Structure 1
Amino acid sequence: MTPTAHFIYKICPEQDWHVATDKGIYTGTQLDIEDGFIHLSPPEAVVATAAKHFAGQDGLVLVRFLVADLSAALKWEASRDDILFPHFYAPLDPRLADRVWPLALNGRKHIFPEDMTIETPHQEQ
């Protein structure tokens, strides 16, 4: 069963995202490359993903994608706690990003934007 999420998210170092936008292609983190797909998170799991994999890390961005804009390379697969997570089995075109926010830190926790699930038109990066 495919979830009905409208948005999915990628957390990554801001520097990596800037390189990707300059090159026009995002191939993911070292873990993504090793696993053979780009790890993404559904809205209900993105905060837990940040806490589990990025606690205390500064200089990160939250990148939002519209599920409808992604190709058949997007697969929903069971992962942590049997939650279905979106995995993208191809490089991503950074122009498909709907929004990009910096993730500020409050101690070891990231501060997520209040409007991260509010629909907005595509914006220039």
Structure 2
Amino acid sequence: MSQVAYKILTADQWAAFRGAGAFDGAPIDLADGYIHLSTEDQWDETAQKHFVGQSDLILAEVRLGDLDDVRWEPSRGGQLFPHLYGVLPMAAVGVVMAFDVDAAGGVSVLRAAS
């Protein structure tokens, strides 16, 4: 399994994460009981499925080796997705990029996040 996964956040979620130094999860994460992560090959489909028409999204690289309770579980189409059962600490985040998803589901080019 990959040692890196990705978390998509809204700008507001990212600002709260940065301020707190940890992320408890988006509403869907809290409802499901774990933080949804995606692999490099999965994140764009996740963005197209859940973030259509949204701009100023954040793609945060997450170092899985820095986390305690990551489980690879089947989800969309039987693919294995990394799920974090716990809080995501800022210390586990590497590269952070911004992007948009247009109304048709097209993902914009990644750009440096502020």
The AA in structure 2 aligned to 1:31 is I
Q: Which residue among 92, 95, 99 is the counterpart of 1:99? A: 95
Q: Give ranges in structure 1 of 5+ residues lacking alignment.
A: 115-124
The AA in structure 1 aligned to 2:24 is T
| Residues paired across the two proteins, number | 111
Q: Give ranges in structure 2 of 5+ residues lacking alignment.
A: none
Matched with 2:45 is 48
Q: Report the alpha carbon displacement of residue 113 of structure 1 after superposing the two structures with TM.
A: 3.1
The TM-score with structure 2 as length reference comes to 0.87
How far apart are the structure 2 equivalents of 1:44 and 1:82?
14
Residues 51 and 105 from structure 1, CA distance in 2 versus in 1: closer, same or farther, beyond 3 angstroms?
closer
The TM-score with structure 1 as length reference comes to 0.80
Matched with 2:30 is 33
Give RMSD over aligned pairs.
Answer: 1.8
The answer to whether structure 1 residue 89 and structure 2 residue 85 are counterparts is yes
1:6-25 correspondence to structure 2 within 5 Å = 6-25=3-22
How far apart are the structure 2 equivalents of 1:113 and 1:27?
25
